[in-house]
Amino acid sequence: MDALFDAFLGPQGENERWFRELVDRVVAWQVQWRKTRFPEDPSVYTGRDERSPTFKRRLEEALDEFLSRMERNIPFPSPRYTGQMLKDPGLPALLAYFATMMINPNNHAYEGGPVTTEMEMEVVEQLKQMVGMSQGWGHLTSGGTLANMEALWAVRDTLPPGKVVFSVGSHYSWKRICSILGVDDWHELPVDRQYRMDLNALEDVLRQGRVTLVVANFGTTGTGSVDPLPEILDLRQRYGFHLHVDAAYGGYLRSALLREDGQLLAPEETGAYVKPEVRAAAEHLGQADSMTIDPHKHGLVMYGAGGVLYRDEKFRQTILNTAPYTYHVKEKPNIGMFTLEGSRPGAAAAAVWLTHRVLPLNISGLGQILRETLTTGREFAARLTNETSWQPLVDPDLDIVCFHPKDAPADPVAANHRALDLYRGLSVENPSAPFILSKFVVDPATARTFLGTQGALTDGWTTLRAVFIKHWMRLGPKPTALDRLLEEVAKF
């Protein structure tokens, strides 16, 4: 099995024929399922063998218009797009979602989605196993923001009050969530030169008074940085706090570290694509008290699939919710009784289930793909330094690489202009851009950590950002997409 190629439609629809056959099979299966449910019933379509020409025309014309509008999309599945965390969903997710959405189950209550509720429970167990969380529970969410929000809500209402602490590298949702939940006592920590949480600053805050929740990142949104979990866990031991790890982006990385039997690969087997500090953090990931992990990022699933895990069952009781009109099937799991969200698509659970089934969460399955994206990040960072006048902002922990001109510390203002030039050439701002990157603006205070200048960059320091969430960059004939991207960057 070569998941790198076989598991996708392909950037140029290379697996078209096979995909059509599979879609056809799904449609035939669905029709058969409908026909055989109540075969004795007369068809409500009796006497209506022809579709109404007006409706047929209207639908077909509207579909033409719709498809032509959709063509104006940015080419997200292409290796030339490395702007944001947009993944090309794999074939298993496409097929499972398509098959399930025709039935449209709702995983809010067992009665609304019996099959997909069971699938959700199974994939949550698989996620827990992958991250090394030996106990607890969890569920899928519509995304990372909702997972973060539910975790903070559960913690706020279960544990004694105290500060909520996260770093400046954390996802913007944390501040928003604090605002929504009325948590005013939050503190934003600075980051070090790897864009990881500054542990001295964390300890200072811990010494000052009660901290209820510390949010660590396993893959920050901006730079993909992984916070030092072993050291943070030592601090938890000394000071006592709830550790939530936001592994929305990076959590699936652990599949690239696992053998088929679930044991960790030896460091010498993973050294080429995982740095020792990241590996150490990954080894400790399961000790988090709660965690966000999103199948719709590195899990090859389309949007609408985040996830939250809790190591302690007690949080379920806090957010327990009942209703007079649902949850009637008592002896079965009603996931919605313990979720912030109400209706949740069974199709998302199905997409995760079939993906995990085809690509198990280890190095022989989904881990192959992660290994490739991580290798791409490392190779891009090294070649950027060797082959161009640009350099990475941080030595990348995962597969996101931010970069800036090498001479930025000498002349940050000129470097900012050069970065903006590159951005205008290689981003969504240029309709004929040969490659699409994004940018990452370092806030002025953090910029001083890197540049040592005072006040020169009041609007922040612009760096470029490449997100190698898709694994195509090093594949195919030479020059590969990665070679060509480096050539383009070198022109600026």
* Residues 352-381 interacting with ligand PLP (rule: CB under 6 A): none
Residues 7-46: x where in contact with ligand PLP by CB under 6 A, - otherwise, as a string: ----------------------------------------
Number of residues that bind ligand PLP (CB under 6 A): 17
| Packing angle, helices 276-284 and 229-239, rounded to 10 | 40
Residues 222-261: x where in contact with ligand PLP by CB under 6 A, - otherwise, as a string: ------------------------x-xx------------
Scanning 5-13, 140-148, 341-349, 479-487 for contacts with ligand PLP by CB under 6 A, the matching segment is: 140-148
Closer to ligand PLP by Cβ: residue 79 or 219: 219
Least separation in angstroms between residue 250's CB and ligand PLP is 8
Query: How many C-beta neighbours within 10 Å does residue 408 have?
Result: 25
Closer to ligand PLP by Cβ: residue 244 or 284: 244
**Which contacts qualify for 377-382: CB closer than 8 Å, 24 or more apart?**
377/224, 377/401, 377/468, 378/272, 378/273, 379/474, 379/482, 380/466, 380/468, 380/473, 380/482, 380/485, 380/486
Query: Across the beta sheet with 461-467, what order do the strands follow?
Result: 390-392, 400-405, 461-467, 438-442
- Name the residue number minimizing CB distance to ligand PLP: 144
Among 128, 139, 156, 171, binds ligand PLP (CB under 6 A): 171
CA 296, distance to chain mean position in Å, is: 5
Least separation in angstroms between residue 144's CB and ligand PLP is 2
Among 100, 221, 223, 427, binds ligand PLP (CB under 6 A): 221
Q: Do 163 and 210 contact (CB within 8 A), yes or no?
A: yes
Secondary structure of residue 141 in the 3-state scheme:
strand
Question: Is residue 295 a contact residue for ligand PLP (CB under 6 A)?
Answer: no
Backbone angle region of 178, left / alpha / beta, with phi > 0 → left and psi within -120 to 50 → alpha: alpha
d(CA 232, CA 199): 8
φ and ψ at 307, to 5 degrees?
-160, 150
Closer to ligand PLP by Cβ: residue 109 or 152: 152
- The CA angle 149-155-307, to the nearest 5 degrees, is 45
Block residue for tokens 């990157």: 437
Secondary structure of residue 140 in the 3-state scheme:
strand
Question: Is residue 301 a contact residue for ligand PLP (CB under 6 A)?
Answer: no
Scanning 39-47, 213-221, 351-359, 420-428 for contacts with ligand PLP by CB under 6 A, the matching segment is: 213-221
Among 82, 145, 223, 287, binds ligand PLP (CB under 6 A): 145
Binding site residues, ligand PLP, CB under 6 A: 85, 143-145, 148, 171, 173, 217, 219-221, 246, 248-249, 292, 294, 306
